[in-house]
Structure 1
Amino acid sequence: MNATVNVVLFKSKTLADGSHPLMIRICKDNKKKYKSLGISIQPQFWDFEKNKPKRNCPNKDNIQTIISEKTKEYSEQIIEFKTINKDYTVSSLIEKVDTPITNNTVLQLFNNEIQRLKQENRLKTASTYKELLVSMIDFNKHLDIYFSEINIVWLRQYEAFLRKKGLSDNSLGVRFRTLRAIYNKAIELNIVKQEYYPFKVYKVSKLHKETVKRAIQKSDIEAIINYSADNEHARLAIDIFYFSYLSGGINFTDIALLTSKNIIDNRLIYNRKKTKKLIKLPLQEEALKLIDKYTNSTNIYLFPILSQFHKTEQQRANRVHKVLAIINKRLKDIGKELNIPIDLTTYVARHSFATVLKRSGVNTSIISESLGHSSEKVTQIYLDSFENSQIDEAMKNLL
């Protein structure tokens, strides 16, 4: 049943001055509700047959404008419900019309979110949002637009733009998952209506491709360890790779943040920066030798990546990003020289740690074969939940 919307002078309620409130009346499915317009009129100035103010009504034009605008809002919302074939009640119609939509632009919300993430020290996520923002401005020339303008056509054109720039499916996936996340945030904040959500049709999942395995053989690990480095940067790259491999596949950022406080009774104990998960692992003799090699009384950090100079979270993040790029470049050069079949990076050590243990017969409940984003957390949970003796015994298979 269609809804009807009209304006009535509500005679059932009389105010102190003898006037009656002007109300919007919505009827649907034999139910009716009244919504005040915030205006009251003396009965002699209201035409009850035509339901409108008489010619001699004070402020007639202004009152008529308010009536027209409000009835139009309800009529347009009814049409919108019909267009998307969505059922509704009188209450849900009123709620939809009365819920204010904040007219924030895409640019404004991006800037707000980036600022919020920085304040929470989630600098990597803030950087991901910033990269997407720059990319979208490059495509659209500006983002002084509303989220409702980012529709399926816009998304497909943006995808084509990125593909022309040579981005892989997985890189596209990161961009579009981030865009989907901020679009959901816009809906949550009532910046855009749910009905405009384009990701019901535009599926981000199509952009995901299984990442090529980034693990190498034990013989390749040995070749890297025994590589004769010709400079200190190459040597540091090898040592960082080796330490990660020996120490539960600890990632580069967590290595950079290690201090002597993370070494207790020859065990490595730290909270992963990414997941905040507490990790406890035995430090093998070769790993302890690497720590001793780089121990410096002038630096609180175990490895020469950070120093006391890097005081703020942003300074540390910038430094880690810069040094990681240098180390990964050295590792890639070394990998090519050793004919290793994949690009060598610090992350390969993480994958190799898990895979070598798996190939050595370690139960998959202790170590997962894959350390992708989704299974990485599961792996860390398993590493932490088993007895230390089980982990100690399992890690003997690394060498």
Structure 2
Amino acid sequence: MKTSVSVVCYRYKVLANGESPLMLRISKEGRRTMKSLGVSVDPKFWNFDTNQPKPNCPNRALIRQIVLKYETEYNGKILTKEINEEEFTPQTIVAEQKERIKVQTVEEVYKTIIAELKERGSVGTAYAYLNSYNVLKSFNRDKPLNFTFSRIDADYLERFEEWMRARGNKDTSMSFQMRTLRAVFNRAIKSKAVAREKNPFADYKISRFNTRTPKRALSKADVMKIVDADCTAESDFCRLAQNVFTFSYLCGGISFVDVANLTPDNIIDGRLSYNRQKTHGAIHVPLSERAMRIVDSYAEACERSGYLFPILDSRRHTTPMQKRNRVHKVCHQVNTELRRLACKLNISGVVTTYVARHSFATVLKKSGVNIGIISEALGHHSLKTTQIYLGAFENSQIDAAMQNLL
């Protein structure tokens, strides 16, 4: 049966203005669907035999133009389906209508995302998008990104990659930039700022980048040099660096930002229980006697600041921005002290708080601990996966495993 397309005045519905809506009607094999055109007309000005406005209809020329436009468009869609021998129904023809695009520039979308992230306190993520924006702006010769997302095609991404490589960027950095840009593009698609079929990441594969990083773990012997070093005559920052490194190593490779945010509430029944700042996953690890001694050494400062370690102060660092800036500053200072300490102890390689995280996993692995507890992912792929694995085991299993650290 031939598919019919027509525009009708749906007189059974009367709008607030006293008129009835014009509807696109598609019929095929006894099935029918209707779609409002967003236009209405008084039924007395409509010829229901010809489905056209009467000669005395106000705006008759405009209405006839709208009717012709929709009938032509949908007859064309149906003809294409029939030529290609594709199955279709009236409903699927209507559903295939292209999304309405609300034109927004790349500049506008980036700034909207950054502002929203800052407003809800996701300062670190906001900075990641700000960094992405600034790099893309540099690629655009420091001009505002006042163009639409349709300009960012696979060829554009290839040129962006070449530009970053020419400036000495490593694959890990380029992968980060491309993944962030892809997230912004997906946001633009969702907000109808660009059509879905314009997405260049269907052709440009981010998997081309080698994001595997060299192992940054120390041997158990080198770790113990730091843990057992006598820093009593050193500066407060040197002692803090040693204590943070040791505490991280002994407490499941806890990251610096998580150490900074610990409060007395995170110690429950002799265990360290906290939610990761990065993934929000719940972590529960035993607090060894040595780790507890480190916490106790800052007890007096904790009473004043509200935090276990003298990094943040609840009286001074109250906003997400203040906390982020403080953590970033102290982390840099701590890492500087760790490098100095490592040099004095004849430890080769760059030592940072992050090395304690890798060392925790590597030492346990070499001690024969169940790979499911520590996970290869800690040093190679996804740190989030490691935390998921740790959370899946009984406390007793984790406790037994961590006896191998010292």
Q: TM-score normalized by structure 1?
A: 0.81
| Partner secondary structure for residue 279 of structure 1 | strand
| Equivalent AA in structure 2 for residue 313 of structure 1 | P
What is the match of residue 177 of structure 1?
Answer: 179
Task: Judge which range, 178-187 or 164-173, deviates more.
Answer: 178-187
1:73-84 matches, cutoff 5 A = none
Query: What are the Cα deviations for residues 126-176 of structure 1, in whole angstroms up to 9, with x where unaligned?
Result: 221121122222222222222222111111122122222222111111111
Query: What are the Cα deviations for residues 289-314 of structure 1, in whole angstroms up to 9, with x where unaligned?
Result: 22222222422211111012111222
What is the match of residue 273 of structure 1?
Answer: 277
1:155-304 matches, cutoff 5 A = 155-227=157-229, 230-295=234-299, 296=301, 297-304=303-310
Query: What are the Cα deviations for residues 44-65 of structure 1, in whole angstroms up to 9, with x where unaligned?
Result: 998x99x988998753543355
| Equivalent AA in structure 2 for residue 186 of structure 1 | A
Task: Judge which range, 256-265 or 349-358, deviates more.
Answer: 256-265
Task: Judge which range, 172-181 or 349-358, deviates more.
Answer: 172-181
Give the distance between the partners of 1:343 and 1:264, measured in 2 at CA.
Answer: 34
Give the distance between the partners of 1:237 and 1:125, measured in 2 at CA.
Answer: 26
Give the distance between the partners of 2:102 and 2:400, measured in 1 at CA.
Answer: 58
Give the distance between the partners of 2:373 and 2:13, measured in 1 at CA.
Answer: 75
| Partner secondary structure for residue 378 of structure 2 | coil
1:332-351 matches, cutoff 5 A = 332-336=339-343, 338-351=345-358
Give the distance between the partners of 2:343 and 2:137, measured in 1 at CA.
Answer: 37
Q: Quick check: 1:22–1:41 contact (8 Å CA) kept in 2?
A: no
Give the distance between the partners of 1:374 and 1:125, measured in 2 at CA.
Answer: 20
State the 1:217 CA deviation.
0.2
| Equivalent AA in structure 2 for residue 277 of structure 1 | G
CA distance change for structure 1 residues 378 and 139 in 2, over 3 Å: closer, same or farther?
A: closer
What is the match of residue 386 of structure 1?
Answer: 393
CA distance change for structure 1 residues 373 and 102 in 2, over 3 Å: closer, same or farther?
A: farther
Unaligned runs of 5+ in 1: none
| Partner secondary structure for residue 284 of structure 2 | strand
Task: Judge which range, 199-208 or 87-96, deviates more.
Answer: 87-96
Unaligned runs of 5+ in 2: none
Q: TM-score normalized by structure 2?
A: 0.80
Give the distance between the partners of 2:13 and 2:253, measured in 1 at CA.
Answer: 75
Amino-acid identity (%)? 43
State the 1:179 CA deviation.
1.6
CA distance change for structure 1 residues 89 and 320 in 2, over 3 Å: closer, same or farther?
A: farther
State the 1:240 CA deviation.
0.9
State the 1:201 CA deviation.
0.5
CA distance change for structure 1 residues 386 and 95 in 2, over 3 Å: closer, same or farther?
A: closer
Query: What are the Cα deviations for residues 206-243 of structure 1, in whole angstroms up to 9, with x where unaligned?
Result: 12421111111011112223556543323321221111
CA distance change for structure 1 residues 215 and 40 in 2, over 3 Å: closer, same or farther?
A: same
| Partner secondary structure for residue 366 of structure 1 | helix
| Equivalent AA in structure 2 for residue 168 of structure 1 | K
CA distance change for structure 1 residues 139 and 92 in 2, over 3 Å: closer, same or farther?
A: farther
What is the match of residue 336 of structure 2?
Answer: 329
CA distance change for structure 1 residues 33 and 246 in 2, over 3 Å: closer, same or farther?
A: closer
Q: Quick check: 1:9–1:20 contact (8 Å CA) kept in 2?
A: no
Query: What are the Cα deviations for residues 6-49 of structure 1, in whole angstroms up to 9, with x where unaligned?
Result: x6677x97999xx9986656689998766554254889998x99
Give the distance between the partners of 1:153 and 1:204, measured in 2 at CA.
Answer: 14
Give the distance between the partners of 2:61 and 2:266, measured in 1 at CA.
Answer: 75
From 374, 378, 383, give the equivalent of 1:367: 374
**RMSD, matched Cα:** 3.9
Give the distance between the partners of 1:98 and 1:15, measured in 2 at CA.
Answer: 27
| Partner secondary structure for residue 380 of structure 1 | helix
Give the distance between the partners of 1:29 and 1:211, measured in 2 at CA.
Answer: 61
1:143-158 matches, cutoff 5 A = 143-158=145-160
| Equivalent AA in structure 2 for residue 345 of structure 1 | T
| Partner secondary structure for residue 253 of structure 2 | coil
| Equivalent AA in structure 2 for residue 320 of structure 1 | V
Q: Quick check: 1:245–1:352 contact (8 Å CA) kept in 2?
A: yes
What is the match of residue 105 of structure 2?
Answer: 105
Task: Judge which range, 206-215 or 267-276, deviates more.
Answer: 267-276
Q: Quick check: 2:377–2:385 contact (8 Å CA) kept in 1?
A: no
| Partner secondary structure for residue 148 of structure 1 | helix
CA distance change for structure 1 residues 206 and 332 in 2, over 3 Å: closer, same or farther?
A: farther
Query: What are the Cα deviations for residues 335-385 of structure 1, in whole angstroms up to 9, with x where unaligned?
Result: 455554432111110110111011111111222244158543343344334
Give the distance between the partners of 1:316 and 1:107, measured in 2 at CA.
Answer: 28
Q: Does 1:355 align with 2:357?
A: no
